[in-house]
Amino acid sequence: MKNGFISVAAATPHICLCDCKKNAEQFVKTAKNAVENKVKILVFPELSLTGYTCSDLFLSDTLVNGALDALKYYIDNTAEYDLVSLVGLPVQSKDKLYNCAAVCCGGRLLGLVPKSNIPSYGEFYEGRHFAPSPDTVTEFEFDGYSVPLGSKILFECKTLKSLTLGVEICEDLWVSVPPSAALAEAGATVIANLSASNETVGKDSYRLALVNSQSARIRGGYIYANCGEGESTTDLVFSGHSVISENGIALAERKPFDFSFGELLISEIDTQRIVHERLRINTHQSNNSNGYVKAGFSLKEEETPLTRKTDAHPFVPSDTMEREKRCETILSIQSQGLKQRIERSYAKKCVVGISGGLDSCLALLITVRAVDSLGLDRKSVLGVTMPCFGTTSRTKSNAEKLCSELGIDFKEVNITDAVNVHFKDIGHDSEDRNVVYENAQARERTQVLMDLANSCNGLVIGTGDLSELALGWATYNGDHMSMYGVNASVPKTLVRHIVSYCADKAEAGAKSELAAVLRDILATPVSPELLPADNKGNISQVTEDIVGPYEIHDFYLYNMVRFGFTPDKLFRLACRAFDGVYDKKTLLHWLEVFLRRFFAQQFKRSCLPDGPKVGSVALSPRGDWRMPSDASSALWLSYVEELKKTIK
């Protein structure tokens, strides 16, 4: 339960139709298995104590009473388990029979939630036996005490405030406005669905889409437990297809008919992330809990072992087709944004500083794409290389080749003499290679670009990326400034994949020379090249040696900005994501660096040039990110100090 994670499971036991006692005995074993796997919420299928396919036997008092007795047996024999269980059974209240979910914890029945939408179409005829849930919550006597019965019940965890459980049953999900929508508005962060959905061709894809889309719509967790073996196959077959989803993403899925999988489908739902998402999206309706009854329960506060995937590269899809699609979409967003800026500013030329590195390469590719879409000659793009103290022959050569292969205008402006004159003017010793030595070059380059743009009625196209902005790895009023920053919301880890995608497209288009130069740029260490090369002419100033690996910083950036995770949670997830790649000490060191730089460098982000948003994480002061430049990082860094005590 630490950091808001709660372990949940969808159970698909092999039942014995109509043998309630035997099923209850099996469910106790299933619950024991769940507890041994640290599960805290266990969801059984619809009507699982009896079986869903009992048909007219549901009208038998023997079966209904047997189900209640079996429920009592299950509750009594799981009383010591630190577990919330949801068991399906028929329940008669007064003159109505309901298809119910029994919510159990700590040796007590917390409440009964009847199904609201009773299907009587196609292969379903539940209306023959069951009534829909009553409009209001009533009382039901069970084992000598009263429990609430109704669809408007919220089950609140007292020891994890971000966990509130809501319940719907099978068909409830398939209607136009599922009860889970209102439950989420009333405060439920996790929905349990006890289901008996038979299998037909193509139904599994539709079912998965329903679960994922509903969890996205309510911004919550969703546990869909479906029945399988043991149900009658007289007319229908049940596959056990079950899903655990969170905010539109399937965390775990039992594929249809995968009965070798075992009874339990387990994953962890991040309830803190759900609450943060609802805080962030202010159109999420909340506090609409009028008419809802609340039932409380407690679970032991302990750390939840994580089995869910933690993506080390959250900006970059792991699937090749999805990654290529994302690259193409981002290229389209960037070039379309620049295209309109060129049109609206009546620019005659686009000026791009070309260093031979990744960011300027991507900016140039975007600029060429934009002018192509405008039907302009590529000579309306001017690539400018500005060698100085740290420029290597490799990057200079790649800059020249790239401009040549793209067919754009090219200009070389060696700024060495200008920078040395500037050093003389301000009294700086050129042997003192401090921040003045470095930043003077960056600012001189920006001045050259701006003046060249002015001379040809042009726009300076910015090259800096999202990762650099997060770390403040840019010279203020140097490469920090431009007239339109096309890469402003593209992280470094994704820049690399977009350039690689462009190289593959060039290769496929028989532009092998362009592909070759793009691939050599990809193979070049990331560097601002502001310090002289080593004795062999190689880059001496490698960015990631100074500020840290971009893949780590992009991981911290995404999860802190997108989900508001605390530093201890960031560290915990990083340890899992980069297990075997970086040790804990290294990850904690770069977390501290990230936090210090992120806060200290906000002043650079407060005055950024315009640039298009391409993803869910962006740092534009006019759009997604409004942060005071003088905010203190002390509170965030206090977490780091505590974490240091745990690492030897």
Mean pLDDT over residues 296-309, rounded?
93
The answer to whether residues 630 and 484 belong to one domain is yes
User: Does residue 306 lie in a domain region?
Assistant: no
d(CA 46, CA 44): 7
- Cα gap 434→431, rounded to integer Å: 9
User: In which band, very low, low, confident or very high, does the pLDDT at 282 lie, cut at 50, 70 and 90?
Assistant: confident
Query: Is 491 inside a domain boundary?
Result: yes
**Hey, how many other C-beta atoms are within 10 angstroms of the C-beta on 463?**
27
Looking at residue 3, its pLDDT comes to: 93
Residues 276, 364 within the same domain:
no
Query: CA-to-CA distance for 610 and 618, rounded, in angstroms?
Result: 12
- pLDDT tens-place string over residues 482-527: 999 999 999 999 999 999 999 999 999 999 999 999 999 999 988 8
225 and 131 fall within a common domain: yes
| Cα Rg, the chain, nearest whole Å | 30
Mean pLDDT of 622-632: 94
| Average pLDDT of the residues in 164-170 | 98
pLDDT above 80: residue 131: yes
Question: Do 557 and 453 fall within a single domain?
Answer: yes
**Residue 18: pLDDT above 90?**
yes
Q: Which residues are within 8 A (CB) of 465 and not within 5 positions of it... i.e. 6 or more apart?
A: 359, 362, 487, 488, 490, 491, 492, 495
Looking at the fold, whether 128 and 72 belong to one and the same domain comes out as yes
Tally of CA atoms within 13 A in the half-sphere of 94 that contains its CB: 6
Check if the beta carbon of residue 211 is closer than 8 Å to that of residue 241. no
Note the Cα 86 to chain centre separation in Å: 28
C-alpha span between 193 and 43 (Å, rounded): 8
CA distance 575 to 554: 14
Residue 253 counted as domain residue: yes
Report the share of the chain in percent with pLDDT over 90: 92
- Specify the pLDDT at position 538: 83
CB neighbourhood size of 614 (10 A): 24
Same domain, 285 and 234: yes
The rounded distance, in Å, linking the Cα atoms of 276 and 270 is 10
- In CATH, what number is assigned to the domain containing residue 75? 3.60.110.10
Is position 632 within any domain?
yes
449 has pLDDT over 80: yes
Mean pLDDT of 459-476: 96
Catalytic residues: 46, 115, 170
Tell me the mean pLDDT in the region 56-66.
Answer: 96
For 609, residues 6+ apart whose C-beta sits below 8 A from its C-beta are 462, 481, 482, 483, 484, 485, 488
Question: Are residue 264 and residue 394 in the same domain, yes or no?
Answer: no
Q: Is 334 contained in some domain?
A: yes
pLDDT score at 261: 82
pLDDT at 633 over 80: yes
pLDDT score of 335 more than 80: yes
Tokens of 112: 């009964």
d(CA 246, CA 498): 28
Helix, strand, or coil (residue 317): coil
Please, what is the Cα angle at 631 between 629 and 634, to 5 degrees?
A: 145
What share of the chain has pLDDT > 70, as a percent? 100
Question: DSSP letter string over 218-282?
Answer: HTSEEEEEE--TTS--SS--B---EEEEETTEEEEEE-TT-GGG-SEEEEEEEHHHHHHHHHH-T
Q: How far apart are the first and last CA of the chain?
A: 25
Are 504 and 591 part of one and the same domain?
yes
Do residues 580 and 487 both lie within one domain?
yes
Half-sphere exposure of 588 (CA within 13 A, CB side): 17
Q: Average pLDDT of the chain?
A: 95
Cβ density class 314-346: b for 16+ within 10 Å, e for less: bbbbeeeeebbebbeebbebbbebbbebbeeee
In contact, 101 and 167? CB cutoff 8 Å: yes
Mean pLDDT of 181-209: 96
Locate 621 and state its tokens.
Answer: 């002061």
Q: Are residues 505 and 590 in the same domain?
A: yes
Tokens matching residue 446: 């920006």
Domain that holds residue 276: 2-297
Question: What pLDDT is stored for residue 527 in this prediction?
Answer: 85
**Does one domain contain both 280 and 362?**
no
381 domain-assigned: yes
pLDDT band at 51 (very low <50, low <70, confident <90, very high): very high
Q: CB neighbours (10 Å) of residue 630?
A: 9
Q: Among 262, 297, 332, give the residue marking a domain's end.
A: 297
User: pLDDT tens digit string along 526-581?
Assistant: 888 888 888 778 887 888 889 999 999 999 999 999 999 999 999 999 999 999 99
pLDDT at 533: 83
In a domain, 302, yes or no: no
User: Which of residues 297, 332, 354 is at a domain's end?
Assistant: 297
User: What number of CA atoms fall less than 13 Å from residue 527's CA on the CB side?
Assistant: 22
Contact 133, 142 (CB under 8 A): no
Are 146 and 13 in the same domain?
yes
CATH number of 430's domain = 3.40.50.620
Q: Does residue 67 sit within a domain? A: yes
pLDDT of res. 260: 83
Q: Is the dihedral of CA 598, 603, 609, 615 positive or negative?
A: positive
The tokens describing 107, both together, are 């040796």
Burial tier of 642 (Cβ tally within 10 Å: 0-12, 13-18, 19+): exposed
Count CA atoms closer than 13 A to 429's CA, side-chain side.
4
Total number of domains constituting the chain: 2
Task: Provide the pLDDT for residue 537.
Answer: 80
- For 282-313, letters b (16+ CB in 10 Å) and e give eeeeeeebeebbebebebeeeebebebebebb
Average pLDDT, stretch 251-264? Answer: 92
Per-residue confidence (pLDDT) for residue 339, from 0 to 100: 98
Q: Is the pLDDT assigned to residue 288 strictly greater than 80?
A: no
Tokens 């799981």 appear where?
78
Tokens of 64: 């209904």
